[in-house]
Chains A and B, each alone.
Chain A
Amino acid sequence: MRKPLWYAYLLHRVSGLLLVLFLPVHFWILALAMRDADRLDAFLALADRPMVKAAEFGLVFLLAAHLFGGLRVLALEFLSWTASQKTLAAGSVAVSFALAALFLLRAI
């Protein structure tokens, strides 16, 4: 019963949920910069650990996936595209993966 576009929906929802849960943490860490620069620097030093690298890769992937998935939805709703939506959905995942991989490559 479930088709590729259902997975596109699920990816969009899960990425959105994780991003909105990450936002308060992101904001709080940045706000540390003003109050306590040493603590933020100590925190940023953690970024060299492989686990943190993986989490960063995940976040970039989530953001890119949500961006391209959202562009797909906007196109579908407002441009009345009917053909090849599955290809678009797959393409958006591929591009977001490529972007995240690029990020990871430059981060290492």
Chain B
Amino acid sequence: MSEAAQELTVSVWRGDARAGAFQGFRVPRFDSQTVLDVVSWIQQNADPTLTYRFACRVGMCGSCAMMVNGVPRWTCRTHVSKVVEAGALTVAPLRNLPVIKDLAADMDPFFEKWAGSVHEPSASRDDEIAEIRPDDPKRAAASSAIECINCAVCHAACDTVAGNPDYLGPAALTRAWTLFNDTRHGGDVLEVVSGAGGCHNCHSMASCTANCPNELDPMSAIAGLKRATVRRVFRRD
């Protein structure tokens, strides 16, 4: 940024679950400005009734994800200079989720899909701790989702979720893949992901993998689940 005179034209989604429309704002440009800075500037200087969600501002908490120019992103880690198009930005709540108000999406449907993929311990504190070698292939595969912070960017990017709201989606399925590879997990995750909304609905479009801010690979994890669920039918293991 050379001149402070420059301004951004920002379209922000305003509304609730029933109705809404984009509202225009003019926001001054700053050096190293993030999209979250832009939204905060509007809330602090133009319209204090603007509702949005954030917490850590450093890409740790996963609460500030929004649609920026039609792409799901962490707003706190997205520099304006990277995404601005002809001096304009469009900011909307995450796709594939109901809207609570303005930029705050309702995360309940997203987290409800994780319900089947909750850790169930296979041992109690009285048992020996299971020995798991760091270089064990299953342990390595389990790492694929350990860095997931539940930001729902992949969920918003997924066109299969858009067409089929019952589909568990990339985040919950990647979590299931980690549990499947976790020898200390006592539950039967393969049956959870084999139902009508399960992993077999994935069309491998890879929007999840392409958009994940943590560079995780949900599409390959889901392919792993497909293989494991089918192998169980034919090999009974």
Contacts and interface: CB of A to CB of B under 8 A. Distances in A.
Direct contact of A and B (CB under 8 A): yes
B204 A2 contact: no
Contact of A77 (B70, B159, B227): B227
B26 to A, nearest CB: 26
Interface residues of B, number: 19
Given A1-B70, A1-B207, A77-B204, A6 B159 contact: yes
A6 B217 contact: no
A84 interface: no
B217 A82 contact: yes
Interface string A2-16: 110110110001000
Main secondary structure of the interface of A (DSSP, over half): helix
Contacts, number: 45
B223 A1 contact: no
B61 interface: no
Contact of A80 (B204, B210, B220): B220
B217 to A, nearest CB: 7
Interface string A66-108: 0000000100111010100100000000000000000000000
Contacts of B218: none
Contacts of B217: 82
Interface string A42-78: 0000000000000000000000000000000100111
Contacts of B157: 1
Contacts of A85: 206
Interface string B155-193: 001010000000000000000000000000000000000
Interface of B: 70-72, 157, 159, 203-207, 210-211, 217, 220, 223-224, 226-227, 230
Interface of A: 1-3, 5-6, 8-9, 13, 73, 76-78, 80, 82, 85
